[in-house]
Amino acid sequence: MREAAANDPWLARESGDCNARLHHRSAVTSQAERGATVRTGISHAITWRSENGEDQCEAAIKKVVREDRAIIEDDSPTRLRYAWSSQECEVRAGPEYIIRKYTFFENGTFLLLRYHYAEESCSIATHTVVGRGSIQLGLPSTLIPGATETKFHLDVVHIVPLNRQIANKFGHRLNVTCSLQPKWRPYVAQPVYERLHRQFESPSWYGPRYNSLQSYPSSKKEKAIDCLETLGIEFDELSILRVQKKEFDQKYVAPGSILKSRVELALANVPPNVQSRWIHRATSLQSTVLIRMDTTSECPICGSIFRGTEYNPPLLHEVAPLPALLGGSWISSQCESVKGGLWSRRRVKIYSGDKLWTGRWDYHLDPRCMIFSYSITAAGSYVQRAGRYKRDKDSTRLFQLSWNPSMDKPKDRSRRSMDGAYRHLFRNARPSMVESFASMLRGNKKREEIAAGAQTSSGTPSGTTELDLHVAESVLVPGDMSIVDRCAGKEAGKPLTLWPSNCVPLAIEAPSTLRLRAKVGVSWSGQYILRLSPRDDDIWDMPLRQCGSTDSRNPRLRIYLRKSLGLKYGLASSAISIDRTKWRKALVNERYQAVIQSTILSASLSEKT
């Protein structure tokens, strides 16, 4: 275990191996007090651990690390020559809801089927997009470690409308925006893109190894057809790909299961929203991978996808939205590809009773998350809202209402001064951050009066919700010497509470707000998963899975953040000081401490906590 922990900061931090040293292009940790704490987090690096589910989370994290290390990259010339399918209903910019079934043949040609649906369960099919062309593998990608660049071209793209309304919609749209069209009919394939072939040249997809039963005759037009941009159809995801084989530890596989390994195809990330569709440049792989169809024994929907055709798409069961109960400890289920050619693992803990959260993002330089680059740890409060609605139009009015001076009680001078200073500091901030931080500074009396039990189901939003994560503190831990130099650090592994802007590709600064969407779901295996994404994007990040519960409240975290905010913004009274040694000892001796690495507290708020 010591040898394993030395190569992986995630495992080292969770296993308590304080002798693990991370140097240039290797993970970085520093020795912690009594071997119980590893310095990787906020202020004096106290990882706010979940009291009830910590054992389960540590076991789950070790399992993820083992599985990532067992990944085998397939770089053989024949690695694409299979049929691949989605594992779930996927979301694209729009939003559009699709299921993919991609087949690559021995002669370098491909048949791509994208089934489109009317809603997020993929239970009501609308049309099928059929693409045919050829692809050639190239050199290793310079943008994404572990991926391969390709050269591909399309020969023809058809759309098969699956009802009369969709057929009329496409026909009218193309007549107005692209070219005159014959009458569109349901279940009749209509070309929307066709490359003009030279005389005596036949499309590559007529080759002997192509599935001729699913081929279409050429339209034999003298002019090429190209309506893809008008319809928002693109296949740039084929430009970069990675094929990998995941071996599963049989000790963790359900009894009687025949699952031993799975082969996955990850393609280049797609535009996250409509606005970026034609200017997007992929620097990461998609969060949803395709599974090779001969390794899908544990995929409950893959059989239906395998049997689907362009005229008979797979239909999934409609799924009722689950209550958005975010409380708990959530971790990455694997090493994830993120923007900037990096790979990461995430861990988020949410305390629903206190409306507090902590998070850690570990960034690596390789697809197995073994070469540590840097880490970001953050904490703060959050606000969760149901549905999507605009809050920006009346932000000025909401802000003024939140800070109406006539509402302040003159009987509490310390509270008034605290609110006034906070209002001045965040006069340009979003109302939700002001309200959330202000309630934390005031002690959040209203919430503290509520019983410790969880919210009633009638008051819990369901489905996709808006989530504002307000960052009160953040710390950067550089692990690569190049990061140390760019971020004006002194040595690898020494936390930074301040760093130059843009010294790392992905950073979380304080104070700030992460404006997200959140959705709770259930995976194939019955595990709860949490999907997050930026508010303006339609595509979800790779889901986090719940590894254990947390107490709904974390009093020490709340006290710390309140005191830290008071000190940071000059709201603390000099009349009362706190013993640094006692405060630090209290944190370290706490059974599930989370650790903070900036200045140790030197003063307390004059307000009675």
DSSP of 459-471, one letter per residue? GS-BSSEEEEEEE
**Encoded tokens for 97:** 């809801």
Q: Phi-psi category of 438—alpha, beta or left, where left has phi over 0 and alpha has psi -120 to 50?
A: alpha
Amino acid sitting at position 182: P
Mean pLDDT of the 224-228 span: 87
Distance CA 4, CA 27 (A): 11
Q: What sections of 205-268 are H helices per DSSP?
A: 228-231
CA angle, 268 then 98 then 467, to 5°: 80
Q: What is the pLDDT of residue 570?
A: 60
Written as six digits, the tokens of 504 are 């790392």
Q: Taking the alpha carbons of 429, 434, 436, 442 in that order, is the dihedral positive or negative?
A: positive
Q: How far apart are CA 536 and CA 522, in angstroms?
A: 24
Give CA torsion, residues 288, 158, 311, 96, to 10 deg.
40
Query: Is there a contact between 25 and 18 (Cβ–Cβ < 8 Å)?
Result: no
Instruction: Give the C-alpha separation, 273 to 502, whole Å.
Output: 24
Q: Which residue has the tokens 């040595």?
A: 491
For the stretch 322-354, pLDDT in tens is 999 999 999 999 999 999 999 999 999 999 999
pLDDT at position 2: 45
3-state secondary structure 338-379: EHHHEEEEEEEEEECCCCEEEEEEEEECCCCCCCEEEEEEEE
User: How high is the pLDDT of residue 132?
Assistant: 96
Q: How much is the average pLDDT of 85-106?
A: 95
Q: Which DSSP letter does residue 491 get?
A: S
Mean pLDDT of the chain: 76
For 208, counting Cβ atoms within 10 Å of its Cβ (0-12 exposed, 13-18 middle, 19+ buried), the class is exposed
Instruction: For residues 407 and 426, give the distance between their C-alpha atoms in angstroms, rounded to a whole number.
Output: 18
Dig out the tokens for 14 from the structure: 């969770």
Residue 602 pLDDT greater than 50, yes or no: no
Query: CA 587, 589, 592, 596 torsion: positive or negative?
Result: positive
**pLDDT tens-digit map of 477-497:** 999 899 999 998 888 889 998
List pLDDT tens digits, range 249-288: 655 455 555 557 899 999 999 999 988 888 889 999 999 9
Residue pLDDT, tens place only, 273-282: 988 888 889 9
Nearest to 434 by CA among 443, 425, 444: 425
**What does the alpha-carbon distance between residue 309 and residue 314 come to, in Å, rounded to a whole number?**
8
Q: Which residues pair with 375 in a beta bridge?
A: 362, 477
Of 476, 360, 529, nearest in space to 10 by CA: 360
Closest CA to 337 of 249, 245, 240, 261: 240
Which residues, in sequence order, are CB contacts of 98 under 8 Å at separation 6+?
A: 86, 89, 90, 91, 92, 114, 115, 116, 117, 122
| Segment 155-205, tens digit of pLDDT | 999 999 999 999 999 999 999 888 888 899 999 999 999 987 654 455 555
Cβ atoms 572, 351 nearer than 8 A:
no
The pLDDT tens digits of the residues spanning 348-375 come to: 999 999 999 999 999 999 999 999 999 9
CB 147 within 8 A of CB 140: yes
117 pairs with which residues across the strands? 97, 125
β-pair partners for 244: 73, 264
Phi-psi region of 488 (alpha: psi -120 to 50; beta: other; left: phi over 0): left
607 pLDDT more than 80: no
CB 304: neighbour CB atoms within 10 A? Answer: 15
Report the run of H or E that residue 244 belongs to, with start and end.
strand 240-247
Instruction: Report helix, strand or coil for 272.
Output: coil
Per-residue pLDDT, 223: 67
Tokens representing 168?
Answer: 């009329």
Rounded Cα distance, 205 and 207, in Å: 5
What is residue 450's predicted lDDT score, i.e. its pLDDT? 39
Average pLDDT over residues 30-55: 39
Residue 469: band (very low, low, confident or very high) from pLDDT cuts 50, 70, 90: very high
Instruction: For residue 375, give every residue at least 6 positions away whose Cβ sits within 8 Å of its Cβ, in sequence order, or none.
Output: 9, 40, 360, 361, 362, 363, 476, 477, 479
Single-letter amino acid code for the residue at 356: L
